[in-house]
Amino acid sequence: MNESHRPDPEDSDERMLEELLSHVKRVEPSLETRVGNRTAVAAELCRRANANRNRPVPWWRRTVAVPWPIALCAAALLLAVSALELRSPHAADPSTGDAVSSAQPAARGTVSRNEHPEVAMHVPEIFPEFESYQTETYLCGIGPLSSVSKSFLREE
């Protein structure tokens, strides 16, 4: 019961160690040492930059020089293909050369100004029409909330 309060030996050791090392914390390296360290770091950085420069570039980062005549021919070919794509084979009547809009077909029995009545009246309906639609509710950041899709064959 008569215990005297003694300081923890670890606390006194730490304080003494910090007092002994406090002067080491304030020591600065000499000018020659600082310059030598900076020179060594700069030399290593330069060596690594040169090593990266000598490494081959991956194939997706390489540039390819294409002569102008070949590039112009490729561009002309691309334009020709896109122009042919715009003219679908179903949009033109081969006998008259008149174009019928395939995006909005004319209703049965009606004749547009570009169509001849005999061509519009004799279109056979061999196959039923396939129709489908899809409705989806989408919330940005979360994704689709609900989705409804229906498809059916319509015979006339």
Q: Rounded to whole angstroms, what are the CA distances from 67 to 62, 72, 76, 78?
A: 16, 9, 15, 17
For residue 151, how many C-alpha atoms fall within 13 Å in the half-sphere facing its CB? 4
- Indicate whether 134 belongs to any domain: no
- Indicate whether 148 belongs to any domain: no
Place of tokens 């294409």: 66
| pLDDT tens readout for residues 50-70 | 887 777 878 888 888 888 888
- Indicate whether 129 belongs to any domain: no
Please check the confidence at residue 19 and state whether its pLDDT lies above 60: yes
Domain hosting residue 45, numbered range: 28-55
- Indicate whether 37 belongs to any domain: yes
Largest CA distance in the chain: 124
Quick one: pLDDT at residue 45?
92
- Indicate whether 5 belongs to any domain: no
- Indicate whether 123 belongs to any domain: no
Token pair belonging to 89? 């084979």
- Indicate whether 47 belongs to any domain: yes
Q: What pTM, to 2 d.p., does this model score?
A: 0.26
- Indicate whether 32 belongs to any domain: yes
| pLDDT tens readout for residues 72-120 | 998 999 998 888 888 755 544 555 544 444 444 544 555 555 555 555 5
What integer is the mean pLDDT of 5-14? 70
DSSP track, 53-120 = HHSPPPGGG------HHHHHHHHHHHHHHHHHHHS-TTSB-TTT--B--SSSPPPTT---TTS-HHHH
Number of domains composing the chain: 1
Quick one: pLDDT at residue 141?
79
Q: What is the percent of the chain with per-residue pLDDT over 90, rounded to a whole number?
A: 12
Quick one: pLDDT at residue 100?
47
